[in-house]
A and B are shown apart, each in its own frame.
Chain A
Amino acid sequence: MSTDHLPPGGEALKLPARPRPAGALSTVITLAWRAMLKIKHVPFQLFDVTVTPIMFTLLFTYMFGGALAGSPEVYIQFLLPGILVQTIIFITVYTGVGLNTDIQKGLFDRFRSLPMWQPSPVLGALAGDLFRYSVAALLIIGLGLILGFRPGAGLFGVLLAFALVLVFSFAVSWVWIIFGMIVKTPESVMTTSFLFLMPLTFASNIFVEPKTMPGWLQVFVHYNPVSRLTSASRGLMHGTDATADVVWTLAASALIVAIAAPTAMRMYYQER
């Protein structure tokens, strides 16, 4: 039998008429489903979000714990809310990487030529990222509990802290979405964003109190939104007053979204 020709199309090529266009919520959900499928098919994607947080938590707790706080058990009370912040902010880079991959592969051209609400692919990707963040958060908090982390505010406090980290991460994701549309390859999205993330997360109060830092660095750490988020996360988990830091973080997130989201969407509609 010759395989040069396809089986006659028959019924399948009697093309069905187009249904009414899907609603915005429906397309966002469908694209979030796609993000989940990608995780299912390429589980290696989860390597970074599982191994890195475990490694960081263990390393910092046991390496610095004794020196900085007297013992790892004491230090982890201080470190864990911050390591959650750092890990999740690092994972936000994948939003930009994924978007850039879709653009380079030509998939975005197809999406943009479909009769659907145009921002759906971006929002669907963000919704899919929520899963990654949750996996990472669950691992870090679970490991922390094993290592002796005892959040004073209980589960509710931890959930509030996670919710606040999510709000800030969504805001930051918009910045990577912009990067994802500017640079040429997914690898360079990664490199460029790390250039920003390294100073933002390390020059903060995640690992140590800024008291012993030089004055200029203290100023940076003080105004670094990551520090505010970390303080808020600590306060919420341990049940101490964090109102000012929570408000500060929410305001910073709102500001980032107010600037980055419209910029990103404008660039998204622009031609490439």
Chain B
Amino acid sequence: MSIAIETERLSKTFGEKRALHELNLSIRAGSVYGLLGPNGAGKTTSIRVLSTLLKASGGKATVLGLDVAREAAAVRQKISLTGQYASVDEDLTGQENLVLIGRLLGMSWGDARSRATELLNAFGLSEATNKQVRTFSGGMRRRIDIAASLVTRPEILFLDEPTTGLDPRSRNQVWDLVRQIAADGTTVLLTTQYLEEADRLAERMAVIDNGHVIAEGTSHELKSSLGGNALRFQLANPAQREQAREIVSRVVGDTVLPNTDPTAISLKVADASVAAKILAALGTADIQLTDFSLGAPSLDDVFFTLTGRPPEQATAEKERAS
């Protein structure tokens, strides 16, 4: 099992601010790996160091055995980066952008042109061949941006928040792409704030906060690391949530997990039999439920337990900032 990306106590400071603090990662070649974390956790900084755009302040990072600081040029020969912003030229057409990248990678004009056409077709962008990127929708921009990273085969593809701000349909399309790219043997390192995304795409993932890995493993491992089961109630009337929360707390103690869904209550229970007691108590108080489930904790639960805040909050902060 060969390692594609490895970091050892990787640190990065910007003035006083510590963006990465002794980050340790080990990512297997040929897998999709997710970097999860709230806004400002160090996800983008990690990607920028690994793609040779930033120099680390301490520690070591290797990509396919090459040191990102000392062998940057050789690293660039093997990677592709799709940054957080659509890093294509908005004034140019879809076709021209891809030809540009093809040429810069060393293709002949003819090869670059035919590859551009091929990619536009494969990415469902053939109608936008001769349209300026500034006229593209958000989903189309994201696709042309990813296409620009796939003009030739990168051994490693970095995707920084590939679906932030996309509608569900475009998100599905990007997910399809990531799966196809990984199936072709490229190692994909993606950052995301969407736990569902990591859950669906990534074989393994690291949850980072304050520039440090606070949990690592498969989605299943992370969920079971919490121990116990997650119990979820969906209330018919959101106005009863506070009352319901109190009843639940009274029955099980103070283990209700926060949730931004105003009709939902979720909690971690060590023993599934608690569920019956809670249901009975809620019934007595005449609180109507529309749904009830008992199962493994979701990644949201993991995220909250580890970072002390729900992921939605991080997303909302991000949207306000932009």
Q: Which residues of A contact B (CB under 8 A)?
A: 3-22, 26-27, 30-31, 33-34, 37-38, 41-42, 102, 105-107, 109-116, 120, 271
The chain A residue sitting closest to B132, CB to CB, is A41
Does B30 count as interface, using CB distance less than 8 angstroms?
no
Q: How far is the CA of A245 from the CA of B181 in the complex (A)?
A: 61
Partner of B106 from A3, A15, A20, A106 at Cβ < 8 Å = A20
Number of B residues contacting the other chain (C-beta, 8 Å)?
57
A34 touching B173 in the complex, CB below 8 Å, given contacts A20-B106, A21-B77, A110-B81 = no
Residues B38-78 near A (CB distance < 8 A): 48, 51-55, 73, 76-78
A12 lies within 8 A of B83 (CB) = no
Q: List 13 A-B contacts (CB under 8 A).
A: A4-B173, A12-B123, A13-B177, A13-B180, A13-B181, A13-B184, A15-B184, A17-B153, A41-B92, A105-B90, A110-B87, A113-B53, A114-B101
Does B210 count as interface, using CB distance less than 8 angstroms?
no
Q: How far is the CA of A11 from the CA of B152 in the complex (A)?
A: 13
Other 11 A-B pairs with CB < 8 A, given A12-B121, A271-B55: A20-B106, A26-B106, A27-B104, A30-B100, A38-B92, A41-B132, A106-B87, A107-B88, A114-B76, A271-B48, A271-B54
B150 lies within 8 A of A22 (CB) = no
A114 lies within 8 A of B83 (CB) = no
A109 touching B87 in the complex, CB below 8 Å, given contacts A6-B124, A10-B122, A41-B132 = yes
B173 lies within 8 A of A19 (CB) = no
B91 lies within 8 A of A115 (CB) = no
Interface mask (B85-102 → A, CB under 8 Å = 1, otherwise 0)? 111111111001000110
- Say how far B206's CB is from chain A's closest CB, in angstroms: 22
B100 lies within 8 A of A106 (CB) = no
Does B278 count as interface, using CB distance less than 8 angstroms?
no
Q: How far is the CA of A14 from the CA of B118 in the complex (A)?
A: 11
Q: How far is the CA of A213 from the CA of B76 in the complex (A)?
A: 57
In the complex, the number of residue pairs spanning A and B with C-beta atoms less than 8 Å apart equals 146
A116 touching B104 in the complex, CB below 8 Å, given contacts A12-B118, A14-B184, A271-B54 = yes
- Say how far B321's CB is from chain A's closest CB, in angstroms: 16
B55 lies within 8 A of A106 (CB) = no
3 tightest A-B contacts by CB? A12-B122, A15-B153, A106-B85
Q: How far is the CA of A2 from the CA of B79 in the complex (A)?
A: 33
Residues B139-166 near A (CB distance < 8 A): 143, 148, 150, 152-154
A5 lies within 8 A of B184 (CB) = no
A21 lies within 8 A of B106 (CB) = yes
A115 lies within 8 A of B73 (CB) = yes
Does B266 count as interface, using CB distance less than 8 angstroms?
no
- Say how far A15's CB is from chain B's closest CB, in angstroms: 3
A26 lies within 8 A of B103 (CB) = yes
Q: By CB atoms of chain A within 10 A, which of B53, B107, B173 has the most?
A: B53
B81 lies within 8 A of A6 (CB) = no
- Say how far B42's CB is from chain A's closest CB, in angstroms: 15
B53 lies within 8 A of A37 (CB) = no
**Residues of chain B within 8 A of A8, CB atoms compared:** 180
**Residues of chain B within 8 A of A42, CB atoms compared:** 91
- Say how far B227's CB is from chain A's closest CB, in angstroms: 37
Partner of B172 from A4, A10, A11, A14 at Cβ < 8 Å = A4
Q: How far is the CA of A52 from the CA of B85 in the complex (A)?
A: 34
B180 lies within 8 A of A9 (CB) = yes
Does B119 count as interface, using CB distance less than 8 angstroms?
yes
Does B196 count as interface, using CB distance less than 8 angstroms?
no
A4 touching B100 in the complex, CB below 8 Å, given contacts A38-B91, A106-B86, A114-B105 = no
